[in-house]
A = this chain, B = another copy of it.
Amino acid sequence: MDQRSYHQFCATARTLDLVGDRWTLLLVRELLTGPRRFGDLQASLRGLGTGLLSARLKHLEREGLARKITLPPPARTPAYALTEAGEELGPAVLALARWGMRWAMGERRADETFHAGWVVLGLRSCFVPQAAAGVRATYEFRVGDEVFHIDVDDGAIDTVHGPARRPDVVVTADEELFVRLGEGSTTLAAGLADGGASASGDAALLRKLGEMFVRPPMGDRLGA
């Protein structure tokens, strides 16, 4: 991207000069839900070697999109976090995710890796701010050994890796159910009914979830 710019005076091209390289936007996607350690990043991104990961992180640092931090005690281990500029890539990443929900998802393939956090981000891309007007709630999701929480505050939303401080609702689910949520072949409500998931906490806020996250209808690309 430095040596290999598009050399176009165009906002899209300049952005892709910075984040258009292979793996870069997926790295941003990972960091969008909070700081991560080097090893965890690599574990999430199968096929990305330590060398390239190191190079990409340096690039993001050099360009002011991410920075290396030291996790607060008692961890004290190094990690990577997005800067303000990096955080603001969120809408672009979510727009790509939203397109994918409609035009690229479908059944999970046998050779595809999976993390619950990816589904959480997919859901976030389906968030309907209008439906969340006046809602203030924290939802915690526990899927296998992954924990996420979603903060909804009157049309604004944030999804973060890790447990919530004071969740209003806690949902515990099978990874299997989350795969099917990603596929669009079930809903959280159905999962709660048939035992793939269980929930505790405020029942009214739990019901709200289905209204605030509306998956786009599946489109048929001829080529897929």
Contacts of A65 in B (CB 8 A): 221, 223
Interface of A toward B, CB cutoff 8 Å: 6-18, 20, 22, 25-26, 29, 45-47, 61-65, 83-85, 88-89, 91-105, 108-109, 111-115, 118-119, 121-122, 125, 179, 182, 219-224
Give Cα A18–Cα B9 distance, bound, in whole angstroms: 25
Contacts of A6 in B (CB 8 A): 26, 45, 47
Give Cα A219–Cα B83 distance, bound, in whole angstroms: 12
19 contacting pairs across A/B (C-beta < 8 A):
A6-B26, A8-B112, A9-B179, A9-B182, A11-B97, A12-B93, A12-B96, A12-B121, A12-B122, A13-B118, A14-B105, A17-B104, A63-B221, A64-B223, A84-B219, A85-B221, A89-B99, A91-B98, A92-B95
Contact assessment for A11 and B98 in the assembled complex, using a CB-CB cutoff below 8 Å: yes
Contacts of A22 in B (CB 8 A): 20
Contacts of A224 in B (CB 8 A): 63-64
Contact assessment for A26 and B16 in the assembled complex, using a CB-CB cutoff below 8 Å: yes
Instruction: From known contacts A92-B99, A103-B88, A222-B64, infer whether A20 and B25 are also in contact, taking CB-CB under 8 Å.
Output: yes
Contact assessment for B15 and A99 in the assembled complex, using a CB-CB cutoff below 8 Å: yes
Contact assessment for B62 and A88 in the assembled complex, using a CB-CB cutoff below 8 Å: no
In-complex Cβ contact of A118 among B11, B101, B115 (8 A): B11
Contact assessment for B99 and A8 in the assembled complex, using a CB-CB cutoff below 8 Å: no
**How close is A123's CB to chain B, nearest CB, in angstroms?**
10
**How close is A43's CB to chain B, nearest CB, in angstroms?**
13
Give Cα A186–Cα B212 distance, bound, in whole angstroms: 41
Give Cα A131–Cα B1 distance, bound, in whole angstroms: 36
Contacts of A20 in B (CB 8 A): 20, 22, 25
Contact assessment for A85 and B108 in the assembled complex, using a CB-CB cutoff below 8 Å: no
Q: Which residue of the partner chain B has the closest CB to A63?
A: B223
**How close is A57's CB to chain B, nearest CB, in angstroms?**
13
